[in-house]
Amino acid sequence: MQKNSVVFKPENEFVVRPKDIVPIEMKFRPKTRLPDFSGEIHMKFANGELRKLLHVTGVSHGIEIKLMEEIISFGGVV
């Protein structure tokens, strides 16, 4: 899902042994506006069965940050 500014770690296939814990990290870092998107992460069992592990949907409406004031007062500063 790199094209939608979504990055998963680990990025490649990996094997989870019994009683193992593997954290999955997801980052969403859009650089532009994006239309609605969705994607899935699947898990494959030793017998070849494929199941959906998680489903991700998202959208990026905007990425701008603007200050409402041109001057910000901090009061007394020491």
Higher pLDDT, 21 or 5: 21
Provide the pLDDT confidence category of residue 34 given band limits of 50, 70 and 90.
Answer: confident
Provide the pLDDT confidence category of residue 60 given band limits of 50, 70 and 90.
Answer: confident
What does the pLDDT look like over 10-24, one tens digit per residue?
888 888 888 999 898
* Residue indicated by tokens 């094209």: 3
Nearest residue to 30 via CA among 9, 56, 54, 58:
58
Give the helix ranges, DSSP H, for 1-78: none
Q: What is the pTM of this model?
A: 0.56
